[in-house]
Amino acid sequence: MARPRIVQTDEQIGFHWVTPGGTPVGLVDLVHLDSEPHRLVPTHLAALDDAMVLAAGRFGQVLGGSRAPTAAERTDLRELHRAIDRLCVEYCDAAAVLGTVVDARAGQILGTAAFIGIRARFPLGLLGPAPFDGELDQPRLGVVSGYGQLIVVDPERPWAGGRWVIRTEDGRRYPATLSQLLFDSSGVHKDAARREHRDALEAVVRHAGDGDPLIVACAVDWLLYDWLLAHRDGPDSGAVQFTGPEAARDAAAVLGGIQTSARCRSTVDPQLLELPAALGPFGNARA
């Protein structure tokens, strides 16, 4: 009996599903149509993992910031981040329809994809400003004495996010990242810092419907990127790993951030989460 299958070529960025008859189709539509939908979600996840390996190999220098993209690569990076947004949201929506438990492995694969997607958007100017951009003090060379603090933009607007700073005894606030606190600072309660950061990301996701979509997207992107940057398996790697005692919750927070960012950005780019028009008219159903 013919089964749905994934279509991906060496030249193609990302992949898409087709029905047994060869019609391009979104994963959520396929879940509703197929007689064995539970086989589709793990296959999609494995294909996403493979696609990110190919993307890292093809665009590694540009994604890592070693050089600026060429004009042709800028077009490819746009296609890459759009494919990642679509494929990640397809997975999340299909998993929700089927009641699939999102485990640490799924979070790691989707987190890696999100990290690559954010890095792809960076040279295209498609990332908004970081919280408190232009408002913080700039540190001088040398050791900075102070303590790390996660400050929120506005307690009355939890969807606006926040960021880490180093607050000094004389009241200065220097920009910081979760990665700096975990790996380049002393006296930091690392587990508490991770929990506080995850709580902030979850708060933005939970209150996303109350805020301006683009402000929410910026807030989520910053917190998500900062989290993923601190959870790579090495300083020169883009692969994300969750090894702590709350890995499943970490994964759920990352998936929530991925979906929220993509859906907020799709309010100004309605085709972002749809199959590329060149593939055919079979649109994506909403979960």
pLDDT by residue (tens digit) across 211-221?
999 999 999 99
Is residue 79's pLDDT more than 90? yes
pTM: 0.92
* Percent of the chain at pLDDT exceeding 70: 95
- Choose the weakest-confidence range: 135-144, 148-157, 225-234, 237-246: 135-144
pLDDT digits (tens, 9 = 90+) for 25-47: 999 999 999 999 999 999 999 99
pLDDT digits (tens, 9 = 90+) for 259-272: 999 999 999 999 99
- SS3 for the chain is CCCCEEECCCCCCCCEEECCCCCEECHHHHHHHCCCHHHHHHHHHHHHHHHHHHHHHHHHHHHCCCCCCCHHHHHHHHHHHHHHHHHHHHHHHHHHHHCCCCCHHHHHHHHHHHHHHHHHHHHHCCCCCCCCCCCCCCCCCCCCCCEEEEEECCCCCHHHCEEEEEECCCCCEEECCHHHHHHCCCCCCHHHHHHHHHHHHHHHHHCHHHCCHHHHHHHHHHHHHHHHHCCECCCCCCCECCCCCCHHHHHHHHHHHHHHHHHHHCCCCCCCCCCCHHHCCCCCCCC
pLDDT digits (tens, 9 = 90+) for 88-128: 999 999 999 999 988 999 999 999 999 999 999 999 999 98
pLDDT digits (tens, 9 = 90+) for 3-17: 999 998 777 899 999
Q: What is the pLDDT of residue 216?
A: 97
Confidence of residue 139 (pLDDT cuts 50, 70, 90): confident
